[in-house]
Amino acid sequence: MSQIYQSTLEDLKERASTGYVSPLKFAGAYTKLGDKGQALTWLEKTAAEHSPSIVHIATDPDYDAVRSDPRFTALVKRMGLAGSPP
């Protein structure tokens, strides 16, 4: 399965070399690959862009693998997203 996500990541990198690709796409690919550090880096980039796509990360099951990471929790809380702890 990781080969699929690695292929997806390579495709995203190729597409980004010629145009815009949402950093949230990269965050998702890195999350699926189990690379929490890169996933969180790309989530921070998504937040910095004020991308409306980020509003669902607090509850999106695609981010379950990073949900327990304190950096993820801090990001969700900082953004005031639904599903974040009080």
pLDDT digits (tens, 9 = 90+) for 1-11: 689 989 999 99
pLDDT digits (tens, 9 = 90+) for 68-85: 999 999 999 998 876 554
Give the total number of structural domains in the chain.
1
Q: What is the pLDDT of residue 11?
A: 96
Q: Look at residue 45 and tell me if it is in a domain.
A: yes
pTM, two decimal places:
0.86
Q: Look at residue 86 and tell me if it is in a domain.
A: no
Phi, psi of 63 (to 5 degrees): -105, 15
| Structural domain containing residue 14 | 2-79
Q: Look at residue 6 and tell me if it is in a domain.
A: yes
Q: What is the pLDDT of residue 2?
A: 82
Closest CA to 47 of 65, 27, 66: 27
Q: Look at residue 39 and tell me if it is in a domain.
A: yes
pLDDT digits (tens, 9 = 90+) for 29-79: 999 999 999 999 999 999 999 988 888 898 899 999 999 999 999 999 998
